[in-house]
Amino acid sequence: MRDEKPRTFVLVHGAWHGPWCWERVSEHLIARGHEVVCPSLPCDTAEAGQDEYLAVIEDALRTRSDVVLVAHSMSGMVAPLATGDPAVGSLVLLAALLRRPGTAWVDGGLTPLAEPLQKTLASAGVDESGCVVLDPADATDVLYHDCAPADAADAVRRLRPSANILGQQICPGLPRRRVPTTYVACRDDRAVNNAWNAALAQELLGATVREIDGGHSPFWSAPEQLAALLVEAA
């Protein structure tokens, strides 16, 4: 392994997930000498949205510097707003959803999502608080189809309900401060339309686009490869 400058990676999970999803990637990053922080977004709180998510990310950045901010899936709607913080040295958007400033995510319909997730959401349940609950079989097929059955089951049992208020909120203007940005597209993603979102990341953030094999959750199916890619993108 080549010598690497120690960095701090703030890894932000997406909808239905939690900090646990970064366990395998964190092991590889820490073994390479890096610090890892995995904040927990309040995605299972029905009234939590943009302000609450951004506050969690900003808290994770506090007292740190030269951070590689990594946002997976839904958290890509918020992470670019945190790049105005001088603690952020670079941004990595992993199979991320993005919003255009001045619009709400729902304004664009379901085009940013891959067709399998569109179908899954059409039949998904909602709990008593209004959060979306995924059927385990559907979650496995859309989020973890390229994992070994036992690994997929381990991940799916940890999923939690997820609020949808963020998608209904207007995205504010992006910070004037810009940082090097990489969009990582998963070649067999069944959740996110990576081509659509990568193009928006290029337009709005000047992102460089990279690809990784597999589905929507390479942090679970290919953690070593993802860790190496994150270090390269940093």
pLDDT tens for 8-28 read: 999 999 999 999 999 999 999
pLDDT tens for 131-183 read: 999 999 999 999 999 999 999 999 999 999 999 899 999 999 999 999 999 99
pLDDT tens for 32-60 read: 999 999 999 999 999 999 999 999 999 99
Quick one: which of 201, 192, 183 has its CA closest to 99? 201
- What dotted CATH number matches 8-233? 3.40.50.1820
Q: What's the mean per-residue pLDDT of the chain? A: 96
pLDDT of residue 3: 61
Listed by start position, the domains of the chain span 8-233
> How far is Cα 226 from Cα 29, in angstroms, rounded to an integer?
10
C-alpha of 70 from chain center: 7
**How many residues are given for the chain?**
234
